[in-house]
Amino acid sequence: MYHKSSRMSTGQRLMYPILGIASCIAFIYVSFSDLSFGDYHAEQKMDFVRRNGTHLVVDDGKMFYVNGWNSYWLMDQAVDEYSRPRVRAMFQTGSKMGMTVCRAWAFNDGDYNALQISPGRFDERVFRALDYVIAEARRHEIRLLFSLVNNLEAYGGKTQYVKWAWEEGIGLSSSNDSFFYDPSIRQYFKDYVKVILTRKNTITGVEYRNDPTIFGWELINEPRCMTDNSGDTLQDWIVEMSAYVKSIDKNHLLTVGLEGFYGPNSPKKPTVNPGEYFSLLGSDFIRNSEIQNIDFASAHIYPDHWFKNQDFEEELKYVALWTRSHIDDGDRILRKPIMFTEFGYSTLNKDFDPSKRDRFFKTIYDVIYKSAKKQGAGAGSFVWQFWVGGMEKYNDDFGIVPWERPETYKLITQHSCRMARIRGSAELKGNLKELCSQ
């Protein structure tokens, strides 16, 4: 989807120091009271999140539910001193809202501020920025869902991997989809994954694979392999890469990163997919999610991009159908938790009004809450996307500065409270206790 594929020029990036004042304003918005770096080595108990059937649980056996958000930009903004405060501002806000997990990119391949400069070559300065993101998340008791590569071109993506192989004269094809079947490119990706999982955080001293701050790994953001709409090529890649990740890291949850479309042989193709085209993308929600090493299934919700000129009330009905359908799959077929790792309502909609976006959010939240209350497979959701003041170049038509609209802020925080209450009143601690007593 285009809202995540736009790239920024170097010239645009060099304008960011000018926005330093705006970054400071962000501190005021979130009522910063602690400007020191603090002691990252101070112990804050945090358990790994595990899968138990259709549920997510922490080590004490209690259910774990996600009211999360996307801030894909965290690593990039942590590279430079002038923009790093935005990372802390975002985590502090998420914590104050009772949110539990943030989804972000753990990749930047060959782009500006690249983490991976070329296959197997890393920029330590950017790696330290990722270390900082993890340390800050732990400080604010937020967990992280990290995506490992992009299907889209933004931040390099599979296109960059294919380009590297082609430039070295070892690529089988210039097709972007050769990322999934070229043995050399598969090895590039495995090498990258191993470096990430075994990285020792320079701030906390903990290897990523041993850090419970990390909620889980996502193999690829929104995978599509349109040159093989049978789905076999992508399926083979997921099987191989999921087994490889688990061979290195058995502590963390793993998901594919799917958009949630049903494949050409699925009985739900004509009734739930937004159109025939979406069954021909080389992915299949059921088949891809059934793989043994995949712990939970994911789906995204973007009816604004899937339909043209749909009536808003009809759109809400479809969103409820889409959400219920995937949770039902988790309960009846996959026997795994289901999470909606991206959902957003576009400001480019005709007659856009923030109150419509609130209703869109509430529709999704209500379906998930109903499932969770019945101990179903609905495990959580992640808004696309949150950002802070001074970051307009990172925004798209879905972005929200969460404290700018009180009604939206209240809706999201109320969802945090009711999801927490499912676990019992004893779980209302710290920020949640104060938040949910209001």
Residue keyed to tokens 């490889």: 244
d(CA 144, CA 68): 9
Active site residue 222: yes
- Report how far apart, in Å, the C-alpha atoms of 416 and of each of 69, 111, 367 are: 12, 36, 14
d(CA 65, CA 55): 9
- Please state, as a whole number, how many other Cβ atoms lie within 10 Å of the Cβ of residue 275: 12
Q: Which of 222, 290, 392, 434 is catalytic?
A: 222
Q: Which residues, in sequence order, are CB contacts of 158 under 8 Å at separation 6+?
A: 149, 150, 151, 176, 177, 179, 180, 220
Active site residue 407: no
Q: Would you state the torsion angle of the CA atoms of residues 165, 181, 276, 307, taken in this order, to the nearest 10 degrees?
A: -40
Q: Which residues, in sequence order, are CB contacts of 16 under 8 Å at separation 6+?
A: 80, 82, 83, 393
Measure the CA angle with vertex 15, ends 12 and 16; round to 5°: 105
Q: Which of 136, 218, 315, 342 is catalytic?
A: 342
Measure the CA angle with vertex 191, ends 186 and 194; round to 5°: 125
- Report how far apart, in Å, the C-alpha atoms of 102 and of each of 46, 65, 95, 137, 144 are: 15, 13, 10, 9, 5
CA-based nearest residue to 199, from 143, 123, 293, 138: 123
d(CA 98, CA 437): 12
Scored b (16 or more CB within 10 A) or e, 113-129 reads: bbbbeebeebeeebbeb
Supply the residues annotated as catalytic: 222, 342
